[in-house]
Structure 1
Amino acid sequence: MSRLSLPARSLISLLAFSTFAVSSQALAAEAEQVETLRVQELEQRLLVLERKLEIQNEEAAAKAKDAPVVTAGEKGFSLKNAKGDYEIKFSGLAQIDGRYFIGDDSAFRDGFQARRLRPTIQGNLGKLVAFRFTPEFAGSGFGEASGNSIVDAYFDLKFSPAASLRVGKQKGPIGLERLQSGGSIELIERGFPTELVPNRDLGVALFGELAQGTVSYTVGVFNGTADGRDVAAADDGLKEYEGRLFVEPFKNDYGFFKGLGFGIAGSTGVKDGTGANLLPRYRTPGQNVFFNYGETAGATGYFATGSHNRYAPQAYFYRNSLGLLAEYVASEQTIARTNGGAEQSLSNTAYSVTASYVLTGEDASFKGVKPSKPYAIGGDGFGAVELVARVGNLSIDDDAFVGTAATRLANPDVSAKKADSYGLGVNWYLTQNAKLSADYNETRFEGGAAAGADRNTEKALFTRLTIQY
């Protein structure tokens, strides 16, 4: 077999190399085209995924706009829509007392008492309408349900901060301490002026704030109730007009008088009839009755027969840990021994001055004390400690005792003419939701015992656990 010449072999090699080179270029081009198509496909898939994510985010954002917001904290529990204009809140106040009277020979009831058991539902129905509903489940305080009642039941029409309308059962706007929450009062029971003002009444009130919140006012028309009472029965068809103007001139400043507030409140109306809804009874800080119209305790047959007017100057001052609250109330009412009998216009008066000081350094305020370091088991927090002192007086018009047993309006052997009270107390705010309190009140009387003697001094030692949220 003849061998190829060198030129022939070179030519064949060159042809083979050229063929291989062309084939490699073709394969490379094909591979590049495939890779390009694959990248394009992946990019397309990525765009689709990104769009799906965008759609999901848009849907989630749309749902979030309508999703309800649930909150829970030291101020209670609430459920509201995302805009916040529709809301329902759940809160509550519970107070359990231990009450002991020293040296009373068992004249008063010692023991434990459920003072307040009040769940509250309140909220907003849009920006215009608000509501509040608070039942009282403490009853008589000793387990009977006969005293259960509705404490608050009203609607607000919030036209503006300067003018809102409240319709329903609500606190009367007259007493300063009455307007404090039961969980915020400094001593366990309110002072004497609260005995001369309406507790809660049914009616309509216009209220608001002016001058950047430095002036607040309330004016309203109500069924009218006796001093210190809730509306407990159908009214006599007559109405009572009540109002309050309160000024905090330095509220928006940071000077010494920032916590100063003062005002005047009052009411005028006519009452005609008899019973607890129209005639008062007055109680001590120990919650024992020391005065009522009549010859005997709980006597009936005495009548409200005309005008009933009240006026109440009031003030408070809070500066750092110091708190001062003072008020005076005069209640002038026309009373008759019999229906259609001779009438007398009587003026009963009361005052109290309360001072408080927070030993642990927190700010005192009308709304209570918030511990800067709440009590924590095993932790450093101790809570806040507050000391309180109060003096007060309630005086009955002397004319109520003038006459014989057949003509006078009150019996000096049963009802005292005057009561002076002195109280000391301490509050331990463990957290904003829990408070332990103890106080001692001593009340001295003029009259109220047989043969013109003075009723025995009342010495009341009270303790209380308050839970609120």
Structure 2
Amino acid sequence: MGWWAVAMATAVSLVVGPQLVVAEEAGSVLQDILKIMRENGQITEEQKTELLRRAQQEVDRAKIEREQMEKERMGALQAGIDKGRPFLQSADGDVRIELGGRLQVDYAAVESNTRRLTGPSLVDEFYARRGRLELSGTFYRWIDFRVECEMSSIAHNTISTPTSGTSEVCLNDAYLDFRFSPELALRVGQFVLPFGYEETYSNKYTDQIERSIVDELEPEYSVGVSLHGSLLSGIVGYEVGVANAGDGGIGSARNVAPINNGKDAFGKIILAPFKTTGNYWLKGLQLEGETMWGDEGPGTSPQGRTMARGNARFTWFGAQTTNGDRTRYGGDLQWAVGPAALRFEYLEVLNQRRRMGPGGRSLDDVDAAGWFISGAWILTGENKVLNGPVEPRHPFSPFAANSGWGAWEVTLRYAELTFDSKNPLTFLGGAGSVAVGPATTDGAEAITAGVNWYLNRWVRYMINWNNYWYDNPYATPLSCRRQTACSAAQLHRRQDPTSWELLTRMAIWF
């Protein structure tokens, strides 16, 4: 029976060998071998037929097993943590979902005996500035999504009154990105509108605790659609689109219907001319220009406020009643070189006041304009990234044998915000208020000095000192000395129209 063993061994090796030869190839080679054996009289015709039948069964079985293994491989989930973020991913990489979050706990200390113009005292307090969870991912390598939920009641710039201590859960980002190519993507949903850079850059990576007083001119979230992309290997970027119009200077339409059914058209261009050159001094230079326009109908203008939140925030210029078009334009420069970064931004917002004057005539626009310049230097030498984390070379980990002191950074920022019109403004805002001091212009300047301690890539402690100079000496935190709202006649003129506040933050994110 040696011939039978030889024939079976040959058949099996051809069928279930390392390469798992397909049925057609195995059958062809095996038939040739069995034909030779039959011609040499080593096997009968019946034996040849039986060997071919059994060989085909082995081929079919191997194919089934291989297909099953492929299905199991394709259906398997991979899980892990990538740069601090938990993720789930299909084995083929077609589906990936990531979980992220952040928590920011702040403390604000204000100058003693300071009050709002409406009477209540400004107070020192702790507050949860932000508490967010986010879910993001990619389907089939070209469809991205992002959903973010905010659980802090004072997280957004829209809050202008003292908080009641109750919490809210609301939707921030909720959009889909269809990435047809690096040059073209379609975004649909609720997202931060691309005007200015302070709002479009994550608060996880800002140099100061709060964005500047000029941030009053930047919109937040809105529901809309945009086209965006990157050209020439990232040298040029753009975004154009249309979204629901929001009320107020910041124009937020987050989770609300558009004001008066209005829409904002927007466009932004980003230039990084030396990004691909590798030039140490210039590769981190970036320029941006943007504009927005919409017919808002009845609405309100931007307002002027200090940077603290909660019961420590002071409004020094009230929002003006407006009617008509709202036009925004601005530009900024950002420049990162090694451990240092320099930032400059100028923004302007024009709100029309159609038919709001005596006899139905139109009043001059409310013109809000602001600019700031900011610098940051990482003393421990780590590289500064314009919109990304600082990664300490020696993270602070007191329970590790090789713990370092993390990364240390100092920052300084100067900002100005002014409001102007050829017709009178009511700086207190609201019904019945009248102008005190400058009737057609108001403004403030602010300087922020800060220190940031990056314990590791995901944890940062910050401390900022903010000092303000008010153009209107009747509109300072020390101008109202009553427990209730002050009328214009009850406001005191300050010889030194300034105030200060101290902010600290402990932040963690993943």
Q: Distance in 2 between matches of 1:262 and 1:152?
A: 25
TM-score between both structures, scaled by the size of structure 2: 0.75
Instruction: Say if 1:74 and 1:404 are closer, same or farther in 2 by CA, change over 3 A.
Output: closer
Q: Which amino acid aligns with 1:457?
A: T
Question: CA offset at residue 402 of structure 1?
Answer: 5.4
Q: Distance in 2 between matches of 1:236 and 1:86?
A: 40
Of residues 363-372 and 226-235 in structure 1, the stretch that sits farther from structure 2 once superposed is 226-235
- Secondary structure at 2:73 match in 1: helix
Deviations 1:194-237 (A, max 9, x none): 21011111211111001111100111111122322421532212
Q: 1:349 aligns with which of 369, 394, 409?
A: 369
Question: CA offset at residue 158 of structure 1?
Answer: 1.3
Residue 455 of structure 2 aligns with which residue?
430
- Secondary structure at 1:374 match in 2: coil
Instruction: Say if 1:344 and 1:407 are closer, same or farther in 2 by CA, change over 3 A.
Output: farther
Of residues 88-97 and 55-64 in structure 1, the stretch that sits farther from structure 2 once superposed is 55-64
**Aligned residue pairs, count:** 425
Q: What is the correspondence of 1:190-209 to structure 2 with a 5 Å cutoff?
A: 190-209=211-230
Q: 1:245 aligns with which of 260, 264, 269?
A: 269
| Residues 425, 435 of structure 2: 8 Å contact kept | no
Residue 211 of structure 1 aligns with which residue?
232
- Secondary structure at 2:215 match in 1: helix
Q: Distance in 2 between matches of 1:400 and 1:337?
A: 13
Of residues 418-427 and 454-463 in structure 1, the stretch that sits farther from structure 2 once superposed is 454-463
Q: What is the correspondence of 1:65-464 to structure 2 with a 5 Å cutoff?
A: 65-105=74-114, 107-140=121-154, 144-225=165-246, 226-231=248-253, 233-234=256-257, 235-255=259-279, 256-274=281-299, 278-287=300-309, 288-293=313-318, 303-335=321-353, 342-367=362-387, 368-376=389-397, 377-378=399-400, 379-399=402-422, 401=424, 411-412=435-436, 417-447=442-472, 448=475, 449=479, 450=491, 453=494, 456-464=497-505
Question: CA offset at residue 407 of structure 1?
Answer: 11
Q: Distance in 1 between matches of 2:363 and 2:98?
A: 49
Question: CA offset at residue 453 of structure 1?
Answer: 4.3
| Residues 382, 407 of structure 2: 8 Å contact kept | yes
Instruction: Say if 1:407 and 1:146 are closer, same or farther in 2 by CA, change over 3 A.
Output: closer
- Secondary structure at 1:177 match in 2: coil
Deviations 1:71-123 (A, max 9, x none): 21334111111222212110011101111113344731311110010100111
Instruction: Say if 1:240 and 1:52 are closer, same or farther in 2 by CA, change over 3 A.
Output: closer
Instruction: Say if 1:426 and 1:337 are closer, same or farther in 2 by CA, change over 3 A.
Output: farther
- Secondary structure at 1:185 match in 2: coil
Instruction: Say if 1:76 and 1:413 are closer, same or farther in 2 by CA, change over 3 A.
Output: farther
Question: CA offset at residue 467 of structure 1?
Answer: 0.7
Q: Distance in 2 between matches of 1:400 and 1:388?
A: 39
In structure 2, the gaps of 5 or more residues are: 21-61, 116-120, 156-162, 480-490
Deviations 1:129-160 (A, max 9, x none): 21111111012477844543211111111111
- Secondary structure at 1:350 match in 2: strand
- Secondary structure at 1:236 match in 2: helix
Q: Distance in 2 between matches of 1:128 and 1:213?
A: 18
Deviations 1:231-283 (A, max 9, x none): 15322122111111110011112112000001211111111124xxx443332
Deviations 1:410-459 (A, max 9, x none): 63369991111011111111111111111111111111142654785231
Q: Distance in 2 between matches of 1:242 and 1:413?
A: 36
Q: Distance in 1 between matches of 2:453 and 2:459?
A: 9
Q: Which amino acid aligns with 1:228?
A: I
Of residues 242-251 and 282-291 in structure 1, the stretch that sits farther from structure 2 once superposed is 282-291
Q: What is the correspondence of 1:23-102 to structure 2 with a 5 Å cutoff?
A: 60=69, 63-102=72-111
Question: CA offset at residue 60 of structure 1?
Answer: 4.7
Residue 14 of structure 1 aligns with which residue?
none
Q: Distance in 2 between matches of 1:84 and 1:241?
A: 36
Q: Distance in 1 between matches of 2:82 and 2:133?
A: 16
In structure 1, the gaps of 5 or more residues are: 1-32, 295-301
Q: Distance in 2 between matches of 1:140 and 1:213?
A: 36
- Secondary structure at 1:372 match in 2: coil
Query: RMSD in angstroms over aligned alpha carbons?
Result: 3.5
Q: Distance in 1 between matches of 2:457 and 2:355?
A: 50
Residue 485 of structure 2 aligns with which residue?
none
| Residues 412, 452 of structure 1: 8 Å contact kept | no
Of residues 123-132 and 425-434 in structure 1, the stretch that sits farther from structure 2 once superposed is 123-132
Q: Distance in 2 between matches of 1:98 and 1:262?
A: 34
- Secondary structure at 2:261 match in 1: coil
Q: Distance in 2 between matches of 1:103 and 1:423?
A: 19
- Secondary structure at 1:63 match in 2: helix
Of residues 91-100 and 375-384 in structure 1, the stretch that sits farther from structure 2 once superposed is 375-384
Question: CA offset at residue 285 of structure 1?
Answer: 2.1
TM-score between both structures, scaled by the size of structure 1: 0.81
Q: Which amino acid aligns with 2:406?
A: G
Instruction: Say if 1:105 and 1:386 are closer, same or farther in 2 by CA, change over 3 A.
Output: same
Residue 30 of structure 2 aligns with which residue?
none
